Structure 1
């Protein structure tokens, strides 16, 4: 694989991104209400605004040095008894969005009606349209975003200091967020007690098709596709450091849930629909499952359910399927 070979295909891959990208379901929430921000200030990142969006839904506006002092949003689905002033800390479930969605994405599902989630703090952070849960390689001048540092250092500390999060955490996500969930669990040992990936990008180095597809996403919104992890040949070590397949040994002790369709029409699709993105991710997930088994994973659960495409009906279903594993890891009944 050469850089020129890749370059000829990046334009084509980028052209199909919008056609293949997951869109968030419409969230049914009433108009927001601004709340007072607690007086205590954090070091580094800080909360500069708080908005009550709906019952149990609160948005934080966070200024992040890791993101060049941008202000980004974090949505909290709060447990019963939660308030910004409470000193209690709850088991915490990080729920990550996919590419081309945002921090509101999961709000369009039924998460607010799941009874067991009334006992945990659900954290749904902004991750950029195509941030890939990574500190970008900084190809070129001017600091590129450091999403991994924002989430795992700045936001984690903020939430634990003033917003009721505990160090008892699990993580899950869809598509790009599925990759993020596995990356964070692998790259930050001890931070999460379990991880789940729904239709996740779990082995982007699988083959040329997978490499060029993710480069197409990297190149979305006019970005240089090499800014995120660099060139897949020249900076292969960086790519491998962000590819869950190559981090399988770091995940072997954790409960891991992987699910994916095969890209053909399933129960939530019109007849005859096909989805090349889901088919690619299906192959990646099978490869990761093999790598985890080879590494000695003792708590691996897979649901490779055959017919199914890259869509919210499947991810909502898989969230429900994985919750017993995630809540058990949190010791929530």
Structure 2
């Protein structure tokens, strides 16, 4: 009964918002389909993304229609060229909210005017109903994260001169677009430096009706976006900026929301009030994790374009001040005879004796994906159930993994090619010690067993649903050390790490390396 009431209230709020925008003429009136382009591509033309149509709308604004294999259809993308021309441009990925589309930030949010004096290339891709997630619609899957985080960067790389260094990749969005920005930042903290959310729900588990309604607007069935919030709780956390907040260490975070009212009116905007409360909770969560961020709870403001235009302008001013501050400090350092590189935040840890992550410095990462790449490390987990995995204390000295199933981990090229390393694996299934030589790229590869959920049924039921959490908190640890008195051998003198691992670990009784089936991301 309570859930039905919440869904009814949420549906009424979204319908009221849509009707209000429509009456004021501030709702996308153009058809969002691509029928004017003719039939969708078929056969081998569907294997790769490609531009089907493009047009110049102003000196800076370009519009593209791109076929996306991740979505199985053609969608629109608008791009604003930098107001201040750059040889290589930093990029702002700017996302719209539910009920809007790729045109909205330039049609209603003054994005073109607000970025007139900025060096950023601004890309504004479509996001459908605004789930910023994988959505099952009938027999199709709309994979919006792959479109936004893989295909859009490929599109930019091929058509524009842009800088993909993390410090020059920024994410921002309004409402559900801000949710997408924060979620993608938590999924890929090694790719981005900034994430900004204006009036955004950042904890899906405390806004279940809203997420359910938005998924249904995409065409999905109720409660199919992340599953049941009780039995599929891991999926909800895996798609929650709040649940993955600890991944946001080191990023510049900006949050803002209005109060849901105006000074001259007693009426309340329930949707804006709700996201304001979410912002407060998310800020408290970041504070508890000691993550620096900027949280602006406005004393007035509704869930509308007036607020979002203001917030985009305020955020852009903050970016400009930061860049001016960094540039002035660089000039000051140069006048004192120093190097500007010594100032950059990414390198400041070197001066304190702490190596960067790229050089093997320690980091941890929380995820719900079974297949992921982070800071050059590639991890594959074969499992029966969705689970949250902590890839912890990762450095050249080793790492830890939580959860059940089997794993395969390939390191970046952090080791001496051909050198022998001693490996120690310990966990719920036992302990093992063996040696392995780094491949010609300086990488090591490990496979093994995590905890085993012995009673985890393939087909769950109410009687067995509690088994799904058995073993998920267990920790498996891998330690890596240079073998004593070992000299580097030529690349041709040893087999690759995978075959070597199977031979040595098999001889020494290492568990779980006989076979491994890579899992797909999801």
TM-score tier by shorter-chain length is 0.7 to 0.9
For residues 251-290 of structure 1, what are the structure 2 equivalents within 5 Å?
251-266=248-263, 271-290=265-284
Match of 1:76 among 73, 76, 79: 79
- Conserved? CA contact 2:83–2:116, under 8 Å: no
Mapped to 1, the partners of 2:274 and 2:185 lie a distance apart of 23
Deviation at 1:148, TM superposition (A): 0.4
Match of 1:54 among 32, 53, 58: 58
1:225 aligns with 2:229: no
Mapped to 1, the partners of 2:64 and 2:155 lie a distance apart of 11
Partner of 2:172 in structure 1? 172
Q: Could you list the per-position Cα deviations for residues 236-280 of structure 1 after superposition, in whole angstroms to 9, with x for gaps in the alignment?
A: 1111111111111111211101001121224xxx62221111111
1:63 aligns with 2:60: no
Deviation at 1:80, TM superposition (A): 4.9
Give the secondary structure class of the aligned counterpart of 1:54: coil
Give the secondary structure class of the aligned counterpart of 1:20: helix
For residues 33-112 of structure 1, what are the structure 2 equivalents within 5 Å?
44-68=48-72, 70-80=73-83, 88-107=87-106, 108-112=108-112
Q: Structure 1 residues 123, 292: CA separation in 2 closer, same or farther (over 3 Å shift)?
A: same
Higher helix share: 1
Deviation at 1:19, TM superposition (A): 1.2
Higher strand share: 2
CA RMSD of aligned residues (A): 2.8
Larger radius of gyration: 2
Q: Structure 1: 5+ residue runs without aligned partners?
A: 28-40
1:120 aligns with 2:120: yes
Q: Structure 1 residues 72, 222: CA separation in 2 closer, same or farther (over 3 Å shift)?
A: closer
Pairs aligned (count): 302
Q: Structure 1 residues 26, 101: CA separation in 2 closer, same or farther (over 3 Å shift)?
A: closer
Partner of 1:38 in structure 2? none
Mapped to 2, the partners of 1:13 and 1:204 lie a distance apart of 13
Match of 1:308 among 301, 308, 328: 301
Mapped to 1, the partners of 2:74 and 2:234 lie a distance apart of 31
Which protein, 1 or 2, shows the higher relative CO under an 8 Å CA cutoff with sep ≥ 6? Answer: 1
TM-score (norm 1): 0.82
Q: Structure 2: 5+ residue runs without aligned partners?
A: 29-44, 328-522
Q: Structure 1 residues 224, 239: CA separation in 2 closer, same or farther (over 3 Å shift)?
A: same
Give the secondary structure class of the aligned counterpart of 1:75: strand
TM-score (norm 2): 0.53
